[in-house]
Amino acid sequence: MEYIIIENEKIGQVKAKLLIDKNPKTCQAIWDALPLELNLARWGEELYGNIPVKIDIEDSQTECEVGDVGYWIDGRGFCIFFGPTPASSGDKPVAATPVNIFAKIEGTDPKIFNQFDTFYGIVKKGD
């Protein structure tokens, strides 16, 4: 359990490193639920959508970094942060309500997600 892969036909595979030291319970719950279909909507420079996983607050936050992948507690959602959101006052993404950040995109510019108003794909276990 080290990486997840976010995939769709337009962008291919995007690798995200699991942040096991930061949110181990969230990482394990997501890992155990994989693979998951993603149907994500856009909110500023964030993509988010409901997944069939229930996770409690674990080291949650609202201020995020570009490339963070989080679990949105209130909406049982999968979130990809790639820039400012409507809740941001600067360049950093800010979630509407607390999220558990459980992964960080590596090896790909997170701005690749900027091309989507809606994102359909899968998230699966990586190597």
Amino acid sitting at position 31: W
How many domains is the chain built from? Answer: 1
pLDDT tens digit sequence for 16-30: 999 999 999 999 999
Residue-number span of the structural domain to which 17 is assigned: 3-125
Nearest CA-CA partner of 110 in 70, 58, 72: 70
- Encoded tokens for 89: 């006052």
**pLDDT for the residue numbered 58:** 97
CATH at residue 8: 2.40.100.20
First to last CA, the chain: 8
Mean pLDDT by runs of 10 across the 127 residues of the chain is 96 97 97 98 98 96 97 96 97 96 97 97 94
Is the pTM of the predicted complex or chain greater than 0.85?
A: yes
Place of tokens 């607390």: 98
DSSP state letter for 57:
-
The answer to whether 104 and 18 have CB atoms below 8 angstroms apart is: no
Q: In sequence order, which ranges of the chain are alpha helices (DSSP H)?
A: 24-33
**pLDDT for the residue numbered 29:** 97
